[in-house]
Amino acid sequence: MAEVTQLIHHYLRHNKRFPHVLCPGCGHGIVLGSLVRSVHQLGLTKDEVVLVAGIGCSGRIAVYVDFNTVHTTHGRTLTFATGIKMANPRLKVIAVMGDGDALSIGGNHFLHAARRNIGVTALILNNNIYGMTGGQSSSTTAENCYSTTSPYGQQEQSFDIVELAKAAGAPYVARSTVLHVKLLDRIITTALARPGFNLVEVLTPCHTQFGRKNKFKTTVDMYKWYKKNAIPLDSLSKLPQEEQNQRTPIGIFVEENRPSLEERYAAITCRLEEASK
Amino acid sequence: MPTKVKKNHRKEERSLFALGNEAVVEGALLAGCSFFAGYPITPSTEIAEIMAERLPRLPDGVFIQMEDEIASLGAVIGASLAGRKSMTATSGPGFSLMQEHIGYASMTEVPLVIVNVMRGGPSTGLPTSPAQGDVQQARWGTHGDHPIIVLSASNVQECLDMTVRAFNLSEKYRSPVILLLDEITAHTREKIQIPNRETYEIFSRIKPSMPPEWFVPYEESMRGVPPMPALGEGYRFHVTGLTHDVNGYPTSRPEEVEKLMQRLFRKIDQFFYDIQIIEETACEDAEVVVIAYGCVARSAHLAVLQARELGTRAGLLKLKTLFPFPRPAVERFIRQCRAVIVPEMNMGQMSREVKRVNNGLSSVRTLNRIDGQIITPAEILKVLQKA
Amino acid sequence: MKPPYEIQRFELRLSGLGGQGILTLGKVLGAGLALEEGYFVAQTQSYGPEARGGASRSDLVISSQPISYPKPEQLDLLVALSQEACNQYYRHLKQGGYLLVDDSLVKQTPTNIYWGLPFTTLAKEKLGMVQAANMVLLGALAHLVPFVVPRAMKKGLETSLSPKFLESNLKAFQLGMTQAKKKYPNVQTQWTSF
């Protein structure tokens, strides 16, 4: 416990007015905890970390941590992060986004950040709903789920963030739930240590806006559902095909090495400088 | 086509036969710009193309082509926060997309320069023809009440000079600055003098000098412009588009909100005379004054000279600062002369400002053209002689 | 640097089709006059959305005084490299203005008083390079127009072209000048004022 207290004192802001905006049972705090542990484990200094966040509940977690923090506009987090990383590649840039943020309004930026392999660790906190604005459906709200803008059930197919990131060319793609904290710590630490665009999708429950509309009586029911539904990627293939489609695989989906955009850019500037001598 | 420059760090003065868009690049590099993010759009594209060639050759220069104009300005804001003098260039449709982030830069006080080469609109409009239809959009395009600095240029040398001024003002006042050009000014080639960097005034943002633990990111001060550290320099603070308190943390307490908003306006208003840039031609004894900006000011210049030859005491007031509106300068002429003529390539966006400060003191005539063609000296001369 | 001729306001239009090198020519000519000779030059252009084949136009206003209005109003010299351009812009030529056409492409001239040289044919047949027509034209201009000084134009070419293309361009320039001199030997005395 003492160690946790130390981490809190070291990494959370002292002059920020608490309490935070997150609801009881929200999984976002767990992601923040995991992020802080990963930064600590890698020995990164607070000055070199830039936490860029979008709009929504996930966007608000930037304000609590004592890094360089930028709370941006809705969906544009990765554009700011791209500018920051290109301007100063020595900074460790972390983008924290929600599902509506990264995939709906910011879908285009997400695809291009993955394609250009900019050196940013992107955390998408996927709660399948627009939480802050009051429970509207997002592009990851599953078919037939209820929300305030799909009162008769969602009729659109939802995005699979992992598949999307893979198709767009991200060299590191991983997924965990907030219940699988050891896995979460491991993949965030790995992602932070790697160059290039690293995507971590975190499934995090929103009981207030999603659970209550979709037959989850308590927050605990949602965590139980995550526990039941999530399955490690390597165990997935052992299941019969029909069951495979109903489960959500977690783990590391892609882990490749490709030079990041800022590395390639530096190589070009070096080459030009050599040529001009 | 960019003109080849073999050495990048020429310090001595030199001349160039350049496009307006090329002059913008020369001005930006002179001012110390080291980051450009953009998306191609006619008639501003040359700026991005030349930046793509030049910036990678400079120490620390960064060029990046983004997926759209929203992303471009997002990246520019990010780079500016990271300590770079940054800019983007676009035209009408792209400028519309940028409005969201103009508001963000205004609220978070991020210095940056946006060049908007105006073309015919609305919508896709006339991609290769000039217009001046984005003037009020530059002032009020983003939502919410906000101060903004909008400059313009009417010839190629001014493209260079005003780009430097745009960077200087943005750095000095921590504000986004919009430089409005038009297709004619951007696509005219003329000889320009590139001044010596050592003797030209270049302003850079003031960084905090106190120890980080004493640093209050949005502290009230007489100047109203807080010092600005770069990300990673040890001054960790929170940047947010939400209304924030002096520490940068979100607030909705009315007394804190009002303080912030008042300061944002005050930091521009109280330095009005530094920001107001105008140029007078034959105005001392003028009975009729033409108030013009951009390429139309060139037509007006010829018209005024012709009118003088024909015996009309005409003068020209060229506005290089469009916003904050140079009210004192305009008022002076309204009091002094019989009539004011405002020719512009829109249905009357600046003439509305002139009329607003006029209060019936003088007769304000408008001359508008919206067919993608420049207003000719003959057209202005006709109105001058009637006025 | 004081320009050798006192020019009030000389308006010149180069017109033709996209791909004929008209924009490049305007740039080289303008750079030569502005940087080497010290005239005030404002060069503007107009082009269609097509990169090749559409209408193309480059306008130069040349003066010994600073230029306010940058667009031409009444042309002193119209250069037309296509029939269409000649038809369209001839009416902008002022009374007593000069017309220069590529007579291998412009078959009907609206007046019998004009200068005609087959720039495109010359480039194709004598140089084997149709793209060099614009430099042949520049060479001709250097003979026909007094203030277009050959030395300045050559110097302008040297600064704006890479060495790889310089030789062939200078050759085209020389060809244009020689041909113009042969056909119109006494042209320079025609000019009275600008």
Pairs of residues, one from chain A and one from chain B, whose beta carbons lie less than 8 Å apart: 137
In the prediction, which pLDDT does B360 show?
A: 82
Task: Please state the rounded mean pLDDT for residues A127-142.
Answer: 95
Sole residue written with tokens 């050891």: A182
- Residues in contact with C142: Cβ distance below 8 Å, sequence separation at least 6, in sequence order: C148, C149, C150, C153, C173, C176, C177
In the prediction, which pLDDT does B74 show?
A: 98
CA B313 to chain centre: 31
Q: At residue B257, what is the residue type?
A: V
> A277 contacts in B (CB within 8 Å)?
none
Annotate A154-183 with DSSP letters as a single string.
Answer: --SPPP-HHHHHHHHT-SEEEEEETT-HHH
Annotate chain A with DSSP letters as a single string.
Answer: -HHHHHHHHHHB-SSSPPSPSPPTT-SHHHHHHHHHHHHHHHT--GGGEEEEE-SSTGGGGGGGBSSEEEE--TT-HHHHHHHHHHH-TTSEEEEEEEHIIIIIITHHHHHHHHHHT-SEEEEEEE-SSBTTTTSB--TTSPTT--BTTBTT---SPPP-HHHHHHHHT-SEEEEEETT-HHHHHHHHHHHHHSSS-EEEEEE---IIIIIGGGT--SHHHHHHHHHHHEEEHHHHTTS-HHHHHHSEEEEEEEE-----HHHHHHHHHHHHHHHH-
Q: Does C69 touch chain B (CB under 8 A)?
A: yes
Find out whether C156 and C36 touch, Cβ atoms under 8 Å. yes
**Given phi > 0 = left and psi -120 to 50 = alpha, else beta, which region is A10?**
alpha
Task: State the pairing for strand pair A172-177/A198-203.
Answer: parallel
**Given phi > 0 = left and psi -120 to 50 = alpha, else beta, which region is B70?**
alpha
The phi and psi torsions of B286 (rounded to 5 degrees) equal: -70, 140
pLDDT in tens, chain B (387 residues): 344 444 444 556 789 999 999 999 999 999 999 999 999 999 999 999 999 999 999 999 999 999 999 999 999 999 999 999 999 999 999 999 999 999 999 999 999 999 999 999 999 999 999 999 999 999 999 999 999 999 999 999 999 999 999 999 999 999 999 999 999 999 999 999 999 888 889 999 999 999 999 999 999 999 999 999 999 999 999 999 999 999 999 999 999 999 999 999 999 999 999 999 999 999 999 999 999 999 999 999 999 999 999 999 999 999 999 999 999 999 998 888 999 999 999 999 999 999 999 988 889 999 999 999 999 999 999 999 998
Angle at B5 between CA A276 and CA B11, to 5 degrees: 90
Q: For residue C59, what is the domain's CATH number?
A: 3.40.920.10
Task: Mark yes or no for CB contact B66/A268 under 8 Å.
Answer: no
In the prediction, which pLDDT does C190 show?
A: 75
> B188 contacts in C (CB within 8 Å)?
42-44, 70
For residue C86, the enclosing domain spans 10-182
Task: Mark yes or no for CB contact C70/B298 under 8 Å.
Answer: yes
Sign, CA dihedral A244-A250-A251-A255, equals positive
Report the percent of chain A where pLDDT is more than 70.
100
Q: Name the residue of chain C whose CA is nearest to B191's CA.
A: C34
Candidates B101, B214, B219, B231, partner chain A, best to mutate (most A CBs within 10 A): B231
Sole residue written with tokens 């542990």: A37
C partners (3+ CB pairs within 8 A) are: B
In a domain, C150, yes or no: yes
Q: Does C27 touch chain B (CB under 8 A)?
A: yes
Q: Does A127 touch chain B (CB under 8 A)?
A: no
For all residues of chain A together, what is the average pLDDT?
Answer: 96
In a domain, C14, yes or no: yes
How many domains does one find in chain C?
Answer: 1
Annotate B157-181 with DSSP letters as a single string.
Answer: HHHHHHHHHHHHHHHHHT-EEEEEE
What is the helix (H) or strand (E) element at residue B255, kind and residue range?
A: helix B254-269
d(CA C85, CA C74): 16
Task: Mark yes or no for CB contact A269/B233 under 8 Å.
Answer: no
Selecting from 3.40.50.920, 3.30.9.10, 3.10.20.30, 1.10.287.110, what CATH number does the domain B279-386 have? 3.40.50.920
Find out whether B147 and B109 touch, Cβ atoms under 8 Å. no
Touching, C vs A (3+ Cβ pairs under 8 A): no
Task: Please state the rounded mean pLDDT for residues C164-191.
Answer: 90
In a domain, C187, yes or no: no
In a domain, C58, yes or no: yes
Annotate C139-153 with DSSP letters as a single string.
Answer: HHHHHHSTTS-HHHH
In the prediction, which pLDDT does A273 show?
A: 94
Q: Does A50 touch chain B (CB under 8 A)?
A: yes
Full set of structural domains in chain A with CATH: 2-276 (3.40.50.970)
What is residue B75's DSSP assignment? Answer: H
Task: Mark yes or no for CB contact A76/B70 under 8 Å.
Answer: yes
Query: Which one of C34, C46, C68 has the shortest CB-CB distance to B191?
Result: C34
> Mind telling me how many Å the CA of B251 is from chain C's nearest CA?
51
> C31 contacts in B (CB within 8 Å)?
17, 189
Selecting from 3.40.50.720, 3.90.79.10, 3.40.50.970, 3.40.47.10, what CATH number does the domain B14-194 have? 3.40.50.970
pLDDT grade for C51, boundaries at 50, 70 and 90: low
Candidates B7, B60, B73, B81, partner chain A, best to mutate (most A CBs within 10 A): B81
Q: Does B358 touch chain C (CB under 8 A)?
A: no
> A17 contacts in B (CB within 8 Å)?
249
Token pair recorded at residue C48: 């269609």
Task: Mark yes or no for CB contact B17/C30 under 8 Å.
Answer: yes
Pick from C107, C80, C104: nearest CA to C92:
C80
- Residues in contact with B94: Cβ distance below 8 Å, sequence separation at least 6, in sequence order: B39, B41, B44, B68, B69, B72
Query: Which one of A48, A62, A73 has the shortest CB-CB distance to B232?
Result: A48
Tens digit of pLDDT for each residue in B282-303? Answer: 999 999 999 999 999 999 999 9
Candidates B22, B119, B157, B189, partner chain C, best to mutate (most C CBs within 10 A): B189
Q: Name the residue of chain B whose CA is nearest to C29's CA.
A: B17
Tens digit of pLDDT for each residue in C80-118? Answer: 999 999 999 999 999 999 999 999 999 999 999 999 999
Task: Mark yes or no for CB contact B74/A76 under 8 Å.
Answer: yes
Q: Does B15 touch chain C (CB under 8 A)?
A: yes
In the prediction, which pLDDT does C18 show?
A: 86
Query: Which one of B4, B184, B191 has the shortest CB-CB distance to C44?
Result: B184
In a domain, C120, yes or no: yes
- Residues in contact with A19: Cβ distance below 8 Å, sequence separation at least 6, in sequence order: none
Q: Does A228 touch chain B (CB under 8 A)?
A: no
The phi and psi torsions of C124 (rounded to 5 degrees) equal: -70, -50
Q: Name the residue of chain B whose CA is nearest to A81's CA.
A: B78
In the prediction, which pLDDT does C49 show?
A: 63
CA atoms within 13 A on the CB side of C146: 15
Task: Mark yes or no for CB contact C73/B190 under 8 Å.
Answer: no
pTM of full prediction above 0.80 = yes
In the prediction, which pLDDT does B1 show?
A: 39
CA A190 to chain centre: 14
Find out whether C155 and C32 touch, Cβ atoms under 8 Å. yes
Task: Mark yes or no for CB contact A112/B101 under 8 Å.
Answer: no
pLDDT grade for C1, boundaries at 50, 70 and 90: low
Query: Which one of A47, A109, A273 has the shortest CB-CB distance to B71?
Result: A109
Q: How far is CA B160 from CA A231, B91, B195, B374, C108, in A?
A: 61, 18, 10, 22, 45
Task: Mark yes or no for CB contact A73/B66 under 8 Å.
Answer: no
pLDDT at A57 over 70: yes
- Residues in contact with B98: Cβ distance below 8 Å, sequence separation at least 6, in sequence order: B69, B70, B72, B73, B88, B90, B114
What is residue B230's DSSP assignment? Answer: P
d(CA C79, CA C96): 15
Q: Name the residue of chain A whose CA is nearest to B8's CA.
A: A276
Angle at C132 between CA C130 and CA C134, to 5 degrees: 110
Give the relative orientation of helices C150-160 and C22-31 as an angle to the nearest 10 degrees: 110
The phi and psi torsions of C139 (rounded to 5 degrees) equal: -60, -45
> Mind telling me how many Å the CA of B238 is from chain A's nearest CA?
5
> C49 contacts in B (CB within 8 Å)?
127-128
Token pair recorded at residue B170: 């943005």
Q: Does B376 touch chain C (CB under 8 A)?
A: yes
By CB atoms closer than 10 A (0-12, 13-18, 19+), residue A262 is: buried
Collapsed DSSP state (helix, strand, coil) of residue B325: coil
By CB atoms closer than 10 A (0-12, 13-18, 19+), residue A193 is: middle
> Mind telling me how many Å the CA of B292 is from chain C's nearest CA?
13
d(CA C140, CA C128): 18
pLDDT grade for A1, boundaries at 50, 70 and 90: low
d(CA B284, CA B286): 6
Tens digit of pLDDT for each residue in A180-207? Answer: 999 999 999 999 999 999 999 999 999 9
pLDDT at A132 over 80: yes
Collapsed DSSP state (helix, strand, coil) of residue B334: helix
In the prediction, which pLDDT does B199 show?
A: 83
> Mind telling me how many Å the CA of B270 is from chain C's nearest CA?
34
> Mind telling me how many Å the CA of A63 is from chain B's nearest CA?
6
In a domain, C178, yes or no: yes
Task: Please state the rounded mean pLDDT for residues A150-156.
Answer: 96
d(CA C123, CA C117): 11
In the prediction, which pLDDT does B5 show?
A: 44
Domain with CATH 3.40.50.920 in chain B: 279-386
Task: Mark yes or no for CB contact B82/A84 under 8 Å.
Answer: yes
Q: Where are the alpha helices (DSSP H) in chain C?
A: 22-31, 83-89, 119-127, 133-144, 150-160, 163-183
Query: Which one of A71, A79, A268 has the shortest CB-CB distance to B70?
Result: A79
> Mind telling me how many Å the CA of B269 is from chain A's nearest CA?
27
Find out whether B275 and B320 touch, Cβ atoms under 8 Å. no
Q: Does B9 touch chain C (CB under 8 A)?
A: no
Domain with CATH 3.40.50.970 in chain B: 14-194
- Residues in contact with C160: Cβ distance below 8 Å, sequence separation at least 6, in sequence order: B3, B4, C27, C28, C31
CB within 8 Å of chain C, chain B residues 244-303: 295, 298-299, 301-302
Task: Mark yes or no for CB contact B74/A82 under 8 Å.
Answer: yes
Task: Mark yes or no for CB contact A269/B56 under 8 Å.
Answer: yes
Q: Does B310 touch chain C (CB under 8 A)?
A: no
